[in-house]
Amino acid sequence: ALLDLSGVHEMKATWMGSTILPCSYVPSEGFMQQTLSWSLERDYSISTIFRRDSSGDHVLLSRFRDRVSVPKDSPGNASLLMENLEITDSGHYTCQITWRSENNSLVTKEVTTAVKVLKVAATKPIIRAGELGLRVPAGARTSLTCEASGSPPISYRWFRSTPEGEALLLSRQAELAWDNLHPSDSGRYYCEATNR
C-alpha cells in the first residue's frame, strides 16, 4: 500500500529506562512529508508532545523536554525515542504524518501504540570483578572500566586508596582512563556503583 505507517499496537517499557516507539514508512516519489506529530492520550485527554514541521522540531509539553526525540536524517523513520521514563508516561501514543502530493493534495495517516511503563523489582548493582593485579608499562595508555548489573540508572565512581587508608575520588564515569602512565600511578583503585 502507498504510504502506510507501520508501528506496534502495544509495548511495555521499564521505569527510568528508555524505549523507542516505532513509526515508519517507505518514502514514496511525489509525496513530501509536511508534518509529523506524536500525541499522548491519557485519562481521556489528548495532548501533542512532539511536532516537526517546516520550522523545525518542537517539544510541546514541558515534562517531555530533553526526554523525547525523533531521528533527524533517516527519511521514513518517525520513531519516538523516550528517555528516563516515568510511570505517568503510560498511555496511548499516536504518530501522525501528513504528506503533500504533487497535485498539492494532503494525505494523513496515523498509528497508535499503547505503552505501559512498569517498575521492575529493584536490584542493587552487582559489579563483575576484573582480574586483580594489572601490570602496564610506563608511558602506555590504559583504562579501567566498571561494569555493574542492576536496576537503572546506575552511577559510577572510581577511587584510589592512599597509604593512609583514605579514598581519593578520581572519576564519576564508568571508565577511568590514562593517556600516559607514570610509575606514580601504581596503586590500588576501586569502583563503586550506586542506584536508587
Domain extent for 60 = 5-118
- Buried b / exposed e across 53-66, counting CB within 10 Å, b at 16+? eeeeeebeeeebee
Asked whether residue 108 falls in the same domain as residue 148, the answer is no
CATH of the domain at 133: 2.60.40.10
Query: Tens digit of pLDDT for each residue in 28-56?
Result: 888 999 999 999 999 889 999 999 999 99
Query: Tens digit of pLDDT for each residue in 54-87?
Result: 999 999 999 999 999 999 988 899 999 999 999 9
Number of domains in the chain: 2
Domain boundary among the residues 118, 153, 183 is at 118
Asked whether residue 81 falls in the same domain as residue 45, the answer is yes
Asked whether residue 91 falls in the same domain as residue 48, the answer is yes
How far apart (Å, rounded) are the C-alpha atoms in residues 168 and 61? 42
Whether the per-residue pLDDT at 133 is higher than 80: the answer is: no
Asked whether residue 141 falls in the same domain as residue 114, the answer is no
Query: Tens digit of pLDDT for each residue in 144-168?
Result: 888 888 877 889 999 999 888 889 9
Asked whether residue 16 falls in the same domain as residue 76, the answer is yes
Asked whether residue 112 falls in the same domain as residue 169, the answer is no
Place of cell 509495548: 11
How far apart (Å, rounded) are the C-alpha atoms in residues 145 and 150? 16
